[in-house]
Amino acid sequence: MKLVNYAMEYNQLHGFNVLPLINTVPQVEWVQWQNNVMDPAEICAFNWQSINGIGAVSGIYKLRCLNFDNVTNASIIKEFQISLGLPSDYKWTVISGTGREYQIWFCCDEDPIISDFFDGEKPFYSYMLKENKCDSIELRWEQCQTILPPSCDASGKKYKFLFSGSSDMPEKSPSKISTEKLCNALNNYCVTPQDVCMITAMDAGGPVSEKPEENKYGAIEQHFWDIRNDKVKLFSNLLIGFLETEGYGKMIVNKDYIFIRDIDNVISEIPKITIKDHILEFITNNSEGSDRALLLEHFIRNAGVLCGERILECLHTIRPDLISGTKEKEYFFFRNCYIEVTKDEINQKDYCELEGKIWEKQKAQNDFYFTSARSEFETFIENICRQDMERISALRSAIGYLLVSYKDPSSAKAVIFIDEKLSDNAFGRSGKGLVSKAISSMKNVLKIDGKNFSFDRNFMFQAVDQDTQLIIFDDVKKKFSFEKLFSILTEGITIEKKNKNEYRVPYERSPKILITTNNTVEGSDDSSIDRQFVIEFSDYYNAKYKPKDEFGHLFFDEWTKEQWASFYNYMVECCRYYLKNGLKSYEYVNLTKKKLIDSTAPEFEEFICELELNKEYIKKELFERFKKEYEDFGQIKYNTLSKWTKVYADLYNLDIIERKSGIERYMYLRKKGENSLKTKFYADRKIKNHDPL
């Protein structure tokens, strides 16, 4: 029987919310199924191809699950079943393919006694046994997913029902047990929060209280261990509670999740090693003497489990209300305040006025304050543009466009910084890198080495994170495949990270694109041109004359507080300028000519530009003439010259008008939108006269 059929039976016969899994990982966004009953049609709508497992969500229809991890003495399973009032051969007991993990499924009502007994409401509770028969027991009360037979684990071994020895589903639904029996069973076999309180009070030499506020390691809510007779126990449910009070949680990203930390509405993505370091630091600072040594030794030995996915993924799910710019408004975040920019004004605001959360990487590392002082960066921009106001406005609008997080579907463009100078060799040092760095100082940017980048490489965008706002392809090579960015520019970006599920960042939240290059970027067709906004950088600054020669210091690294302030004022003005005016075009200096040379050859550019518009030529004669005038192209193919001519026409906004007469083929070039050329032909088929309309 196919897994989808098993899933349907679990749902329709026993009320399970079911999820498709690959190697125990859900392959659908399942947050909505943590609280809502699933419809059979929704199960059928899941993609069940390549699936090797079924997960069930606890909590729905009061279904609960006890999970026994790394069992070393299987007698604990029968003992627990009997303690719960279940038969010793209870049909809803599951064993993993490895035989080290067991689950007991049952139903249990909501009851205030549960939250009191478990010291607060949580999706799951984890305990260690008083006798060392397994690593831990987890009560998966609600909003947790657990694997069902006949799922496969990562090794390919199947889960099955323990007492039937097969994947055949029990006829009757899981039995109902009382909360009293559940609490008694856990109390009999496990070290519960009440045990921790009792032990702490006795160790302190005071009376046994039901819930003491303090012990020698601080508040009971803060520590997550017990030391008795030099034996250490760390409680994973208390550890999870501690981490959550410290701001840790997980964030669902499509079919996967990331660990994050929320401190005063500022969120950062956190690797597991950082969580581990935080726990070690807390243990070190909140224990003493021989206890500290025992705790550290025990934690280090068990860190792989305690800081592993199976425990940390039980951190509560954080769904942050992230602040983002709109079509009319953009935000910038600094150490001392945040800035709200519209097309008409720029306002400085305190963080207490901020409604929502931001990514930590969105914050600039300096303070902001208004100043009337002129920024030397503004002078730098004007010099790049040769004091040409049209070019200055275009560059200001490009900077503003990249600073604005809102993505307008009608203007989905990559900004391209290119040297205006015509040169056979790489020129550079014109200021492209400094303008890129200026934007990076205010946005979360991923910089990619353009020379070594390949679209064919696996995990090419694995460094892109949820908070990445701009991707800079720096110094791309001549044959950079711009068309492969089309889908990113218009639809969003797919992120594939090593050993992780791929996920998609939708268009509205995907990063914008900046490309810097000494060459032109491929693409003379309408689709490419429409997706590019190109800024030419003059050679005012070059290898022999750098900004430091003019201003006396390095930009950014050697700026004073005042220079940073004037720079930030100029940049937010660029943002305001874009919100008011959009992207401003200008008349290219050398871009069109440079594109033609890069797409064809310098000799062809020289040859084709000598042809007159609205004058008809015999194509074969043009071909022979080119080969004769440029002997290095003696072996060029006829089709190559035709393709180059098409590139020329596209770049210069021309139409190619062709006709055939006898064995000869004719062509002429005209500006787009002009009327056809009138010609008269004699019997020898040679052109006598040309009269443009």
Tell me the C-alpha distance between 304 and 601, whole Å. 60
Give the CA-trace dihedral at 287, 293, 297, 299, to 10 degrees.
0
Residue 507 DSSP symbol: G
Q: Which of 250, 406, 381 is nearest to 331 (CA)?
A: 406
Contacts of 138 (CB under 8 A, 6+ apart): 66, 67, 69, 124, 125, 126, 127, 236
pLDDT for res 197: 37
Alpha-carbon distances of 344 from 130, 576, 580, rounded to whole Å: 68, 7, 8
**DSSP of 386-435:** TT-HHHHHHHHHHHHHHH-----GGG--EEEEEE-S--SS----SSHHHH
pLDDT for res 54: 95
pLDDT for res 188: 84
Tell me the C-alpha distance between 342 and 332, whole Å. 12
Tell me the C-alpha distance between 474 and 454, whole Å. 13
Tell me the C-alpha distance between 429 and 161, whole Å. 69
HSE value, Cβ hemisphere, 13 Å, CA-based, for 402: 30
What is the torsional sign of CA 388, 389, 390, 391? positive
Q: Which of 354, 444, 410, 404 is nearest to 575 (CA)?
A: 404
pLDDT for res 550: 95
526 phi, psi to nearest 5 deg = -60, -40
DSSP H or E run through 48: none
pLDDT for res 92: 95
Token pair 């599951």 in the structure block, residue: 94
Cβ–Cβ under 8 Å, residues 305 and 311: yes
DSSP H or E run through 197: helix 193-203
- What averages of pLDDT result for each successive group of 10 residues across the chain (693 residues)? 90 93 85 88 89 92 92 91 91 92 93 70 80 85 91 84 86 92 86 44 36 35 76 85 91 83 88 94 89 91 86 88 90 93 94 85 90 96 96 97 92 92 70 95 91 83 86 89 88 81 83 91 79 93 93 95 96 97 92 87 91 92 92 91 92 91 91 66 39 34
Token pair 């809502």 in the structure block, residue: 36
pLDDT for res 322: 87
Strand ranges in 193-341 using DSSP code E only, listed in sequence order: 214-215, 218-219, 225-228, 231-234, 248-253, 256-263, 266-269, 330-333, 338-341
Cβ–Cβ under 8 Å, residues 70 and 128: no
For each of the domains in the chain, give its residue range(s) and CATH number, in order of start: 1-191 (no CATH), 202-320 (no CATH), 376-581 (3.40.50), 600-691 (1.10.10)
Cβ–Cβ under 8 Å, residues 158 and 103: no
pLDDT for res 674: 77
